[in-house]
Chain A
Amino acid sequence: ALSHAPASAPSNPSHFMKGAIIQLATGELKRVEDLQTQDFVRSAEVSGGLKIDSSMVVDIRASQQKPGLVSLHFTVGEQQSKVTIDVPPEHPFFVFGQGWSSCSPERTAQLYDLACHPLQVGDVCVSITLQQQP
């Protein structure tokens, strides 16, 4: 039996665990490690309310406010908006054409058993935002 897990993420989000079942907007089910860029793009198209943005990593540094976390600086979408988020180094991001990537692939593998590339400045990550209503 399949049960729909809440989207909100606990401290160690289990949806990044290797083998986790992900439901795309098309209804298709895929394992997290098998996802491709096109799966996200297609799901955003089908969902109607969400839009995929290209978010380029422009800076990675240790977080000043929260020890142990890293501050990721992005330029987001066509407007190149500046956005900064603080995340654990093992948090995976999906990079266009590359796949799962994180600031600490070793820790990501330990925690989630999910193979990751090193996340680097210049990588373009998949992010989402609300579709602008006309």
Chain B
Amino acid sequence: NVEPRSVPVFPWHSLVPFLAPTQSD
């Protein structure tokens, strides 16, 4: 009775920054 190990899958857009103009100083 082997417990299946779940492998996390991450969405592609979590890897790149969301740069919107309102973030500037």
Contacts and interface: CB of A to CB of B under 8 A. Distances in A.
Interface of A: 1-5, 7, 9, 13-16, 20-25, 29, 32, 35, 39-40, 43, 47, 50, 53, 55, 74, 76, 79, 81-85, 93-94, 125-130
What size tier do the contact residues of chain B reach?
A: 20 to 34
Contacts of A129: 18-20
A23 B9 contact: yes
Contact of A83 (B5, B8, B14, B23): B23
Given A83-B23, A83-B24, A7 B17 contact: no
Interface of B: 4-21, 23-25
Contacts of B11: 4, 7, 22-23
